[in-house]
């Protein structure tokens, strides 16, 4: 039996990723602040934020599975969230230039039945991303696209930043915003038969 899946996120990238692998879902955005958290360890922070997003939506769901996610960028143990403005984005990109950093996405899945939380799964995925050296001209040109301003770490791997990324080690989809293989494992554990659909079907 199929189950209702609720994505507790307004991210268009997460919606696109779930849709492209044929997972049916509905969207229930939440408003969870992403700064000022006490967790010192980045993976714990990503998981905590994902869980808070899922919990915020779960209170409005009587039956179904509520999926929350949060992606952070980490360099030298420093967490980079979304830039406050263009100057902040420029500083982030200069920090990442020519270096390898980590992208961590926390994922939380809450199983709601009869208005009660029956089970909560929390996990995370980590991907190493290596940037080529970016000149100030490269960074300024990228900032003019407007793409960095609402992205963790001030870049989108699936966008213009792909021209300046040397390589990755780990899940590409994690860097986009949702580690699909991990999500599929979590859904299967809750009885959702996630598998490829027939071509043309």
Tokens of 54: 């899922």
Residue 10 · residue 29 · CB < 8 Å = yes
> Hey, what are 60's tokens?
């409005």
What's the number of CA atoms in the CB half-sphere (13 Å) around residue 184?
A: 16
Check 70, 121, 138, 140 and give the catalytic one.
Answer: 70
Q: Is 70 a catalytic residue?
A: yes
Enzyme catalytic residues: 70
């Amino acid at each position: 039996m199929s189950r209702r899946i609720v994505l507790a996120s307004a991210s268009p990238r997460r919606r696109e990723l779930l849709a492209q692998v044929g997972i049916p879902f509905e969207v229930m955005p939440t408003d969870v602040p992403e700064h000022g958290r006490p967790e010192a360890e980045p993976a714990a922070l990503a998981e905590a934020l994902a869980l808070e997003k899922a919990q915020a939506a779960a209170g409005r769901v009587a039956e179904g599975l509520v999926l929350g996610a949060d992606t952070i960028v980490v360099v030298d143990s420093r967490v980079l969230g979304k830039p406050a403005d263009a100057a902040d984005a420029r500083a982030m990109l200069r920090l990442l230039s020519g270096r390898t950093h980590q992208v961590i996405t926390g994922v939380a899945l809450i199983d709601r039945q009869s208005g009660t939380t029956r089970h909560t799964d929390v996990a995370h995925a980590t991907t190493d991303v290596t940037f080529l050296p970016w000149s100030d001209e490269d960074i300024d040109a990228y900032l003019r696209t407007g793409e960095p301003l609402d992205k963790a770490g001030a870049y989108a791997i699936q966008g213009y930043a792909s021209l300046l990324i040397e390589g990755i080690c780990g899940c590409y989809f994690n860097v986009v915003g949702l580690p699909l293989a991990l999500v599929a494992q979590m859904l299967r554990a809750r009885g959702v038969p996630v598998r490829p659909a027939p071509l043309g079907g």
